Structures are given as structure tokens and as C-alpha cells.
């Protein structure tokens, strides 16, 4: 269990869960190098997707979409390089593979990282600047409700655990949600989706449904 981006798992709320999505029965992967892999796999399976755990390039090549989970972004970066996954991931993202990143996953999708550790790299694809640990340490984790117009009502109950924040967005990036102070915490650019928070641990499945729609499309 990662201490950086993990929390309780709640029962799905009625608005969030819709079974039988199936994503056209296409196979989606969860990058399984580190982080809350199991939680994402459970959500995707409950929505009808065929789910594979991805650790190697040949496993990445076999999926139609990928989730990069929360965890420790610098550790996932190092392991991706050790497993020979960095360049295949970059190529797949550049080639249009639908990818959803939560917390550390958002950091890894960002083109630019502020407060990265020495030598830290990302996979890139999202034309954003993301600040690591923007809200402080583990004890500064918090929960709040967010209005997300693309998802409709009710508001999204969001859990932030040593979370990043999006500081700048490029012209092609669509901000999907922001805190009351205006800081952006969810974005979309083409087939790429990123959230600073963890829908997979609160029973909020609508972001995963949005991701599966891009996989089907």
C-alpha cells in the first residue's frame, strides 16, 4: 500500500456507478508498477471493462486504454525506466492511446512538473504544468465537493492525498474542475484525462466512465 496516494475505499454512490458499460468489451490496462492499482482495476471491472495489469511493453501493446494510478510519481517514473516502459508509454500516448491519470498519474502525464525531485521525468502528453505535493504533506490531505459540469449533478466528492495541482494549461487543454480558489484539479486534452484527486477510493465512477467513453470512441 502506497502511503502517498491512498485512502479508504467506499461503496459506490448511485450517481457514480453504472454497470454494463463494457467499453465495447475492449481491454483496458492499469499501469501496475506502484500505487493503487487494485482500486482502479476493481472500478473498471465493475463498469464492464476487461482489465489487464500492465508492467511490460508487450502488455501495453495489447490494451486499448490505460489508467496510471496514484502512488509516488518519482517511483513510478524510475520503475518505468527500469522496466523499459518509459519510451513505449510516451509513444503510445503520442499515438493517441486513451489514458487516465489520477494524482501521481496526472503528474506523469504532465509535460512540465514543478517541485519535481532531482532527475524526475514524466511521460508527457498533457500540455500543463503540474506542481507536486501542492497541498502539503500527508497530514494535509482533505476532502471536498467539486462541481464538474461535464459530469453533471451531483457534485464530485473528491479526496486529495499529497495531491498535485495544475498551475498552467495550454490552449488545447480543457479544465474540468477547480477548487473555490480557482486552482485547476481536473483536465482533459483529446484522449488524455487527469485528476489531482482519487475517484477510485470514494465510489465516484463517473471519471472512469468518461475515460471508457474515449476508449470506446
Instruction: List the catalytic residue out of 5, 198, 204, 208.
Output: 198
Quick check: is 143 catalytic? no
Taking the C-alpha atoms of residue 76 and residue 70, their distance in angstroms, rounded to an integer, is 9
Quick check: is 167 catalytic? no
Instruction: List the catalytic residue out of 103, 157, 167, 213.
Output: 103
Taking the C-alpha atoms of residue 199 and residue 180, their distance in angstroms, rounded to an integer, is 19
- Torsion sign over Cα 82, 51, 1, 125: positive
Instruction: List the catalytic residue out of 200, 204, 208, 213.
Output: 200
Residue with cell 501542492: 134
Quick check: is 39 catalytic? no
CB 135 within 8 A of CB 117: no
Taking the C-alpha atoms of residue 215 and residue 200, their distance in angstroms, rounded to an integer, is 18
Q: Which residues are catalytic?
A: 103, 198, 200
Amino acid at each position: 500500500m502506497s502511503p502517498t496516494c491512498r485512502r479508504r475505499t467506499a461503496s459506490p454512490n448511485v450517481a457514480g456507478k453504472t454497470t454494463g458499460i463494457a467499453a465495447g468489451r475492449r481491454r483496458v490496462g492499469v499501469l501496475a508498477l506502484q500505487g493503487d492499482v487494485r482500486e482502479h482495476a476493481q472500478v473498471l471491472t465493475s463498469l464492464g471493462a476487461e482489465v489487464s495489469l500492465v508492467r511490460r511493453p508487450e502488455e501495453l501493446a495489447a490494451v486499448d486504454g490505460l489508467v496510471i494510478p496514484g502512488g509516488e510519481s518519482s517511483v513510478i517514473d524510475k520503475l518505468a525506466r527500469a522496466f523499459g516502459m518509459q519510451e513505449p508509454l510516451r509513444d503510445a500516448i503520442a499515438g493517441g492511446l486513451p489514458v487516465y491519470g489520477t494524482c501521481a498519474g496526472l503528474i506523469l502525464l504532465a509535460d512540465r512538473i514543478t517541485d519535481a525531485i532531482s532527475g524526475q521525468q514524466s511521460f508527457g502528453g498533457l500540455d500543463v504544468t503540474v506542481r507536486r505535493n501542492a497541498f502539503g504533506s500527508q497530514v494535509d490531505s482533505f476532502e471536498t465537493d467539486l462541481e464538474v459540469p461535464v459530469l453533471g449533478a451531483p457534485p464530485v466528492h473528491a479526496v486529495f492525498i499529497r495531491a498535485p495541482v495544475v498551475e498552467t494549461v495550454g490552449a488545447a487543454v480543457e479544465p474540468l474542475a477547480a477548487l473555490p480558489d480557482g486552482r485547476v484539479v481536473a483536465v482533459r486534452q483529446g484522449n488524455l484525462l487527469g485528476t489531482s484527486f482519487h475517484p477510485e477510493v470514494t465510489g465516484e465512477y463517473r471519471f472512469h466512465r468518461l475515460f471508457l467513453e474515449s476508449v470506446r470512441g
